[in-house]
A and B are shown apart, each in its own frame.
Chain A
């Protein structure tokens, strides 16, 4: 009988000597813990795709920043008080959305970047480049929307986060955005094939870096960078309307980088068809838009009048109606509490609300041409700049311009960008970049400080220390 005692004693000792921590270190059998993934090439590939998926959230309502806050778009917003109201410049869920989803993406990217260092595989540099591309892409939005923001290059824990303040945006450009894009240019593939179509390419990184330089008014670097794109096989589509034919090939010769949505039931779709729809039952029935909505992002009548006679871009950018199935143009009825204009760039049939096929265009070749034109004009190569501007004009069915002064050229480029990119999230950023936002928008209620957006107030409140994380001027005490 003593044996039993001794045996149990030995058992006890085994337990005591054995690794307690192993016994207590339990991982959930039915949930995947972070420690288990980030372990192989395919894991990292999926981690990168997880970051892309985050873009869908960021860009879902970016139009409210890029277009709605500027001068060519308005919306009736009785039931959408949480959204940006042009007349009062209040409501900032769109910028909150950029901050919140953006920092999540940065965390995901940083997590993967940290872990990927421990592994070696063929595609490693390309995946790193892709993660850095995504990180720089988000930061480029951050500095343009918020100014100085916390610079996070490694995952941070909640307690550490309480001490992290804002970094000067120039440091962010030099420290992260420019080097990350450069690394992306070096290591990303020129083309994506098969399933990978839609992921970042060398061209996307180059185009965005060009935009970064242009934004920083570094016109020399902008010109060189953007010029390199002209030899990378991109070209304008012959028909402007084809850019918005979302049911056909979205990855055409003019495409450089999009936020990819899909109407596939298992993949998030876009709600742009809703977002640019008047509250007009005929129109909504035609495109299968359901639900009760206000009149959403509508072009202004002034914008309609900006187009030159014969501008092929006008009918799809700003229209007084739409063409039904039978090919008959239906005009918006007057006086029915409806806007007089519609933007048809995202007007496609949807099978379900918020599950449209339309992508969000981040950058396309026309943008590169106009940016290159702008950079060269600033570099006093106005004549050469004109050729790039004219490529865009000619595709729009307009006569080529010639013999412009540098200042005239500036105005021409500005107008061309305004007409070319309506509803594509560029107008506000262009106005700010040109330093013309306040001048143009003051009459709409803009105050000078509003070139920057407010940092989400919850974040300010959470830190609770203006020495660490101050609100942008003018928005204190929101």
Chain B
């Protein structure tokens, strides 16, 4: 080639160097992308058989496309598609076939996803000879709009002329002739939308091409199979490993789902390290049975995903509507979470090492009275009592008829200035660390993905911690062209030191770290190392170095929070082994059979030890307490699935049918003793006798037949139908088998010809589905009649203790789902709107039955609950410049729950805090409602107006007491005025994620929130009971003291012996707004530039450093540790309760991720 311009040559030489560096970088990037993408479902290991002689290349390529699911991208001008070729291949790897096909030509291929890009070799050369050899007028880079990767072989042409160019491996093009500044460039590439760009005098024009099938080629895992996202007919939400990256630093996989999916509530109800979030999919559809979703990991249904390593996850798909979940039959009603783990990739090993380290501390604490306020509150409460009794309170409080407690007077009169929150003693900044290592690759037809993880996390309450060790080995063995075997093995180990965090604390028998720490006044010393407060009160220090809180006038008899945390040991170990073997055999091209055998074992061991320390645990003085609890959970499953897949003349058909059986056996045992002669040995062998215990075995078996048909015509009209028949040992003999059908219709409007003109609509789909599912979480043997033993002086006998109910069956759910999916502007803006209406019927209730049966109640399938809701989600790419991207995902959902019927008489189910009645949602709060207009009686005139509490009794309301709403209008407040008073259900909940990337830097910010629910704070019984012997919340301040000193006019007076319903359980004063907005995640990560890595001369492929802040900010009016409360997580009838539960943490972690 000519090099006749020395000046130009100099210029080009320096340019060449720069370009070289850039290209090397880009090459690495492309290689990296190639490798990353090689993990996808379509991979190079695909095998084909071909037999062509003297055929044109284009026919061979067509055949390969048809056989393999790959499609070719190439520039027709650069590829001689009419070249005659001979090729014979018998079940050869596609790479081998392509090697043969293009042997001796200059064509190179690369495989990305299911795309095979063909381009002449010179375009892929590194030195970019083409670009520098000729005079150029316009240059630029063409990249893929979605992935940002450079595109090779793109046709660039000046409109209306013969001037043109092709992009090279780096996506670079150069036009070599003069171009009219007013001309228009046309960029075209098969599979991508052609773009026309006016030159407008520019010399550099960078372009992003948009795939015509953007995002729709993604494969979504549904139950017992996969479909292309474009062919999806049900409501399925997905999250991929790439989206999980921003949650690096979270302990559990399910935590990463928070706020990411519409219709899926992920609640952090318990801050204990390693504890599972509560997941509710599309509302609560059961009154007494379980509401958790079914988890399926690599085809294995499992009880929990406690030990899953987040870095192993390839994707998570949540099936929400009944047409998707019906394939799981009697287990589908609460939704199904399908988790797929990463598999091995073709090629040399890729080793990843990730380490992060961080700290956590309490997210927020309850705001309470300080020492002075609390002491004054107590003394004023005493004064109120004495005034009620008509006693003289003019003298010094120590001279009153009931003298004020010395410890409170010390504070009020300045002798004791201590003001330290006891929470400071039991909460801490806790470190966390995680190391994970994985290797993926292939060797001798075996693809492997091996990983190990070690996680250690201290709890934010002292003495609590969590350690996890998890290994995984996923092997794919191609035995021959028809037979493939997949093996997954996953051993895990979890160890936890637990503390007794939760619960009330008003008695010395109450053992709760948070309860005692929020009950104890700030002016008491706690440990021997504390300075003993000055003043007249005396403080008792036990030999063990803990102050003892007993016998104080101003404080309840409670335990020392530090002692509870330190002296009591609860040690929990969990080991698990999950494994399955998949044999996939291709009977015909269209027909394959998949046999799966799997099983898991999970062992849990928990030991408890409370030493006998009479001065410390004085509620249990004189004896120690120990228990030893073990469980063994084992399950095996087998599954045989036939898959059929065919297309003909626009008809696309796939069908699946199969059989599966599984059996679970659960053993547990528990032994306890309090007969220990010393504190030296903590195990039961030191006890003189075992004082209690049990051991049980439970079994459960399930056998199912399932089938599904997916049909579409021209990718335009879709029909899906599935059916599952489940036989379960949990159900009565007359109702052992159930059938769960579903049907779904989808119309892809955007494929219609009349939509052809509406260019901004890239995809539009209308879906409707109806399906039936069940909830089998009802206990193992409820349908059987069992006997119980009784003793009689003439000997022991037995009697039947439960009714035989051969008709007992699963709880049923029928759900309608309607959806509109729209993708606009080449997939840059996506909307999805869903509406569902699900009716849960045959709900299990223990209903009263005529006593002539011999029993007073029996479990029956009677209740009905409806959930109706909507979901909206939006995904948009706001900015997609070559080095800056901003994408936003947003979702919002809401549902309304309504009980349609209960038992025969529809009798409401009432507990002390909740009521469940027909026509209202399950588990609404129940109590006396404080009158918002007139919250307290300010004076005797108002008392005269009423309504007063319990007139004529000692508890009758007086000025300063609360005013309740007289619901039944009888003029006074009594038990009939205790009614539904609030709702634990939000009006809506939402989540949003913003992803920014600038060059090598990425930032992800996620938030989530709920709006409109209330929280029933059971701790108000201690902390807002107006009595003042337990530390009070800040809301108790500014109280009424006399007709002339009314405080804020709405806060009731303190009272040493509360009257007027101030302390009754329960009232609306214990309710708080539960709405919150939380920044759940901020993740900042930086990819170290390749040239820096190169300089190290180490064999490092990539290095990424990151920092994640988890739950850094929360905005809420709730005065507590955590607005996502669930004190009784399994109890659907009593939701929304808060009781000093383990507080949740906010945390920050720093990590580095290296790939070799």
Contacts and interface: CB of A to CB of B under 8 A. Distances in A.
Contact of B659 (A12, A35, A197): A12
A190 B497 CA distance: 66
Nearest to A27: B784
Contact of A260 (B659, B663, B794, B850): B794
B661 A199 contact: no
Interface string B584-597: 01000000010100
B1077 interface: no
Interface string A87-114: 0000000000001100110111001000
Nearest to A56: B792
B160 interface: no
B850 A32 contact: no
Given A34-B800, A111-B800, A268 B791 contact: yes
Interface in A1-16: 1, 4-5, 8, 11-12, 15-16
Contacts of B686: none
26 contacts: A11-B638, A20-B727, A23-B729, A24-B728, A25-B729, A26-B780, A29-B697, A31-B781, A33-B786, A34-B784, A34-B804, A47-B799, A49-B794, A50-B790, A53-B797, A103-B853, A103-B854, A104-B855, A106-B854, A107-B853, A158-B858, A161-B852, A164-B852, A198-B794, A261-B793, A459-B851
A169 B849 CA distance: 23
Interface stretch (A117-125, A148-156, A303-311): A148-156
A443 interface: no
Interface of B: 479-480, 482-483, 583, 585, 593, 595, 638, 640, 659, 661, 663, 695-703, 727-729, 733, 736, 780-781, 784-787, 790-800, 803-805, 848-856, 858, 860, 904-905
- A interface: dominant SS: helix
Contacts of B702: 24
Contacts of A198: 793-794
A107 B733 CA distance: 22
Contact of B794 (A20, A34, A152, A197): A197
Nearest to B860: A158
Contacts of B794: 49, 52, 195-199, 260
Interface string A266-290: 1110000000000000000000000
B803 A26 contact: no
B727 A462 contact: no
A8 B659 contact: no
A411 B784 CA distance: 56
A353 interface: no
A21 B800 contact: no
A260 B793 CA distance: 7
A444 to B, nearest CB: 29
Interface in A172-218: 195-199
Nearest to A250: B793
Interface string A358-392: 00000000000000000000000000000000000
Contacts of B858: 158
B652 to A, nearest CB: 27
A463 B853 CA distance: 13
B850 A459 contact: yes
A281 B905 CA distance: 47
Contacts of A40: none
A54 B799 contact: yes
Contact of A48 (B797, B803, B804, B905): B797
B698 A30 contact: yes
A50 B798 contact: yes
Contacts of A30: 695-698
Contacts of B701: 23-24, 26
Given A31-B784, A48-B797, A106-B854, 20 more contacts: A4-B585, A5-B595, A12-B640, A21-B736, A23-B661, A28-B699, A28-B781, A28-B786, A30-B698, A34-B785, A35-B785, A52-B797, A99-B851, A100-B856, A107-B800, A152-B852, A156-B852, A195-B794, A195-B795, A268-B791
Interface string A423-463: 00000000000000000000000000000000010110111
Nearest to B697: A29
Most buried by A among B483, B701, B792, B853: B792
Given A12-B640, A32-B798, A51-B799, A463 B793 contact: no
Q: Which of B696, B790, B793 has the most CB of A within 10 A?
A: B793
A84 B220 CA distance: 69
Contacts of B483: 1, 4-5
Nearest to A110: B854
Contacts of B853: 103, 107, 155-158, 161
A464 interface: yes
A108 B785 CA distance: 12
A49 B482 CA distance: 67
B849 A267 contact: no
Nearest to B702: A24
Contacts of A261: 793
Nearest to B695: A30
Nearest to A12: B640
B849 A28 contact: no
Nearest to A194: B794
Nearest to B790: A53
Interface string A126-158: 000000000000000000000000101001111
Contacts of B791: 53, 266-268
A79 B804 CA distance: 39
Nearest to B696: A30
Contact of A46 (B595, B793, B795): B795
B1060 to A, nearest CB: 24
A256 to B, nearest CB: 16
Contacts of A161: 849-850, 852-853
B785 A33 contact: yes
Contacts of B583: 4-5, 8
Contacts of B781: 26-28, 31, 33
Contact of B854 (A5, A52, A107, A268): A107
> Which 10 pairs from chain A and chain B are nearest by CB?
A107-B854, A49-B797, A50-B797, A53-B790, A50-B799, A29-B697, A161-B850, A26-B729, A34-B785, A30-B696
A262 interface: yes
A103 B663 CA distance: 39
Contacts of B728: 24
B729 to A, nearest CB: 4
B787 A49 contact: no
Nearest to B480: A1
| Residue among A1, A25, A261 with the highest chain B CB neighbour number at 10 A | A1
Given A12-B640, A20-B703, A32-B787, A25 B733 contact: yes
Contacts of A104: 799, 851, 854-855
A137 B257 CA distance: 65
A457 B341 CA distance: 60
**Residue of B695, B781, B787, B858 ringed by the most chain A CB atoms within 10 A:** B787
A12 B705 CA distance: 12
A458 B848 contact: yes
B848 A108 contact: no
A431 B728 CA distance: 58
Nearest to A106: B854
Contact of A456 (B659, B733, B851, B855): B851
Given A15-B659, A15-B661, A463-B850, A28 B698 contact: yes
